Structure 1
């Protein structure tokens, strides 16, 4: 049975290509949605880009016919703009104000009442939770737009597995430093995935390895006893992080975890060691998104460094700890003297080419898929990229735990040997911080 999908503005602002994702069904855009899209088109951020792209897509449809009557879509469906707001009278007793959201609901409700006579189904598609709740209260079917989700199930790749193995296999691993992966498990592992092996009889005996050589063997981790600027790993997942951060053949690293799990500190400590002590990279580029990415930092007073300071303060806090300084003025002197640490706004990364650098992006969960692509396509030869974030702490209005740019990178790159991922589980900042992260 063909359905009619009414799209909310936030769906188009997240993905202008959403119009083409409903197969053979009819896609309807209320006229008020066009006005909302138009109001965003001058923005110089991701929303503005998507608003302009949506406008261009709809403009091309005009060549195929009159939009208010409907034009065919490439996948066999139909697209039209709905001008009818007659059903608002049916909402006035429930939702008094004629807000844009209520006007969209009015269009969907009117279409729903008309479709009931023909035994057809109308679905409102919106990223706004309360919009879906209001639709449900009116007897309208409402759905979230899930096409941009990196995973369809609510499970994100962790970067490690736990296996039960025999004592003989454990002894072989410790003796040889590697272990052949059983045939029945070769298709169950990803490149650079970590395996926690536990003795099936005595679970207190365990070993940690990493999948290497085209998923044929598990190798011993090289850097589990490494120390970087006074920082050593405190738990299994931090050992995994050290392994990924130090390996030169892994060019893209993603790390996720709750606040206090040590993502930023581990990345900065290992980065300083590789840039300053080992000379593996010319520079370390450190950045955090100004949410939303693309907002001009010119509204803040002072020079660029002063404007960036409030956004970058968590980075400076970790650097003060690593350099063991008591005053922020002392840190400024150290950084200016070193010259190999660059703090930059992601706003200005477009168009650059960044070779032989360690690129460190914090709070990457607030990036869209397009923004992450913009960053990764700037990477030059000999560079390594580290993306950090907590998918459960999203500040972007149109992103969630499963459709943000960080998780897209985690899921899309897990099959490739040039990337590695780990999810940090245990908080190491303090017992209070860990308890707060779990309870709140």
Structure 2
């Protein structure tokens, strides 16, 4: 290969994160150390979701290298010959290096750890290819530091799947104008149908927008939602701050304008997917549950409420806890029962009211593990703590939703527990960016802690 192409050495966590990652490097060469294959082999039989990814990665590598000779695998198998040549297909080579055969004395790190063997292999390739750029690709931050300390010139994270570079750029779901909104609008046409007023303004006022984005101004006079546009004009539904703050769901009223926007989206039957992000204590779960009870019991828009969330080690068996599936899920869904208690704390018999409401609304607690293969019809689905889900896991759940189903995904990107995810690679970040232009979805970042002054102070200062 020419010297302007790069050699990428992949760590195991890259193939676990995206099993077909070795096909994402276009004209550049990819090297998989033998230790990576050993680690994939040890992971493939574990009872975890990552085991499936290990099996997929092994099968994908086998499909590419099945007909290659040992000499060709060491030298590099051209991907274009095995996958066909088209504009999207990678044109580089895939090879396997036997890092177990490297001499100890020629290496900078001991061979006692798998990470060290992979780093040593990358450094050896770097030393043997001085005219080319060699990059070790890993999602392990500590391994990146060790590799640099050992003499690896180029170490990178795998960013092909990242839709944004920094979580600060994540869509918030609303746009705040400086000053008064109407002072920035030179021309406007309005039409009223019933209680709904739609304004048509020049698109130049807000050139970068998306469907169902909420609009606010600093003067606290205007609130609206983008409902459509063309090359010249923007259609904005006038919501008015007073009406947003007057929203009511199961006795709950919004405490700030962000909760008002969230409640507007949650109670709107034309919006099929609502994504709620924000810090702990901003009201994500309470608003979602109150809206679920309101739309199921009072309005009769849905037949049932399905509550689910990711559990630590999402694919671990939940069989160690006693009872039915719902009883096993109870410890993970305590946030829902806490919110139910808040909604009915004024009742004469809170426990009686909760049992009655859970039966009346047909509230079902389900494990994410058992969502695959289901088809959920006419339900209000609450997916809590989904910052710990990958994009593929969220896709599995979203594609379960059939006709008449509304899905609410909520999470806090500051509370990711998964070893394999960061704020920019979380499935929550992924769907916020992917669905921002979908007319049937709405995203709201609930800015501000309303749980208590203690929680608010902790969120700001700890």
Fold agreement, TM-score > 0.5: yes
Match of 2:75 in 1: 69
| 2:202 pairs with one of 182, 198, 207 | 182
| 1:274 pairs with one of 277, 288, 295 | 295
| 2:40 pairs with one of 31, 37, 41 | 37
Q: Give yes or no for contact 2:271–2:441 (8 Å, CA) kept in 1.
A: yes
Partner of 2:330, secondary structure, is: helix
| 1:409 pairs with one of 399, 407, 431 | 431
Q: Give yes or no for contact 1:127–1:145 (8 Å, CA) kept in 2.
A: yes
Q: Give yes or no for contact 1:29–1:82 (8 Å, CA) kept in 2.
A: yes
Match of 2:118 in 1: 104
Deviation at 1:220, TM superposition (A): 2.1
Q: Which residues of structure 1 form unaligned runs of 5+?
A: 199-203
The CA RMSD over aligned residues, in Å, is: 2.4
- In the alignment, the residues of structure 2 paired with residue 237 and residue 110 of structure 1 have an alpha-carbon distance, to the nearest angstrom, of 54
Quickly say closer, same or farther: Cα 1:349–1:168, change in 2 above 3 A: closer
Quickly say closer, same or farther: Cα 1:335–1:101, change in 2 above 3 A: farther
Question: Does residue 326 of structure 2 align to residue 305 of structure 1?
Answer: yes
Residues 30-89 of structure 1, C-alpha deviations (whole Å, 9 max, x = no match): 101001111111234431111111011111122341323321123110101100342543
- In the alignment, the residues of structure 1 paired with residue 41 and residue 129 of structure 2 have an alpha-carbon distance, to the nearest angstrom, of 29
Quickly say closer, same or farther: Cα 1:32–1:280, change in 2 above 3 A: same
- In the alignment, the residues of structure 1 paired with residue 391 and residue 348 of structure 2 have an alpha-carbon distance, to the nearest angstrom, of 39
Question: Does residue 153 of structure 2 align to residue 150 of structure 1?
Answer: no
Q: Which residues of structure 2 form unaligned runs of 5+?
A: 81-89
Quickly say closer, same or farther: Cα 1:25–1:205, change in 2 above 3 A: closer
Deviation at 1:366, TM superposition (A): 0.8
Match of 1:195 in 2: 215
Deviation at 1:416, TM superposition (A): 1.5
Match of 1:26 in 2: 29
Question: Does residue 51 of structure 2 align to residue 48 of structure 1?
Answer: yes
Partner of 1:162, secondary structure, is: strand
Residues 221-244 of structure 1, C-alpha deviations (whole Å, 9 max, x = no match): 254411212211111211110111
Match of 1:122 in 2: 134
- In the alignment, the residues of structure 1 paired with residue 368 and residue 228 of structure 2 have an alpha-carbon distance, to the nearest angstrom, of 35
- In the alignment, the residues of structure 1 paired with residue 353 and residue 112 of structure 2 have an alpha-carbon distance, to the nearest angstrom, of 54
Match of 1:17 in 2: 20
- In the alignment, the residues of structure 2 paired with residue 374 and residue 195 of structure 1 have an alpha-carbon distance, to the nearest angstrom, of 32
Q: Give yes or no for contact 1:87–1:109 (8 Å, CA) kept in 2.
A: no
Partner of 2:75, secondary structure, is: coil
Quickly say closer, same or farther: Cα 1:292–1:327, change in 2 above 3 A: farther
Residues 263-303 of structure 1, C-alpha deviations (whole Å, 9 max, x = no match): 11110111111111111100010111113322210122333
Deviation at 1:218, TM superposition (A): 1.6
Question: Does residue 217 of structure 2 align to residue 217 of structure 1?
Answer: no
Quickly say closer, same or farther: Cα 1:214–1:101, change in 2 above 3 A: same
Match of 1:89 in 2: 105
- In the alignment, the residues of structure 1 paired with residue 39 and residue 414 of structure 2 have an alpha-carbon distance, to the nearest angstrom, of 28
Deviation at 1:190, TM superposition (A): 0.7
Match of 1:201 in 2: none
- In the alignment, the residues of structure 1 paired with residue 375 and residue 423 of structure 2 have an alpha-carbon distance, to the nearest angstrom, of 30
Please say which of residues 404-413 and 224-233 is displaced more in the overlay: 224-233
Partner of 1:210, secondary structure, is: strand
Q: Give yes or no for contact 2:244–2:257 (8 Å, CA) kept in 1.
A: no
Partner of 1:245, secondary structure, is: helix
Q: Give yes or no for contact 1:169–1:179 (8 Å, CA) kept in 2.
A: no
Partner of 2:433, secondary structure, is: helix
Q: Work out the number of aligned pairs and report it.
A: 431
Please say which of residues 364-373 and 318-327 is displaced more in the overlay: 318-327
Deviation at 1:252, TM superposition (A): 0.8
Question: Does residue 9 of structure 2 align to residue 6 of structure 1?
Answer: yes
Q: Give yes or no for contact 2:258–2:444 (8 Å, CA) kept in 1.
A: yes
Deviation at 1:336, TM superposition (A): 5.3
Please say which of residues 185-194 and 378-387 is displaced more in the overlay: 185-194
- In the alignment, the residues of structure 2 paired with residue 285 and residue 78 of structure 1 have an alpha-carbon distance, to the nearest angstrom, of 47
Quickly say closer, same or farther: Cα 1:89–1:343, change in 2 above 3 A: same
Match of 2:86 in 1: none
| 1:236 pairs with one of 257, 270, 287 | 257
Quickly say closer, same or farther: Cα 1:20–1:43, change in 2 above 3 A: same
TM-score normalised by L of structure 1: 0.91
- In the alignment, the residues of structure 1 paired with residue 247 and residue 189 of structure 2 have an alpha-carbon distance, to the nearest angstrom, of 20
Partner of 1:181, secondary structure, is: strand
Q: Give yes or no for contact 1:289–1:366 (8 Å, CA) kept in 2.
A: yes
- In the alignment, the residues of structure 1 paired with residue 106 and residue 329 of structure 2 have an alpha-carbon distance, to the nearest angstrom, of 50
Please say which of residues 215-224 and 226-235 is displaced more in the overlay: 215-224
| 1:161 pairs with one of 171, 175, 180 | 175
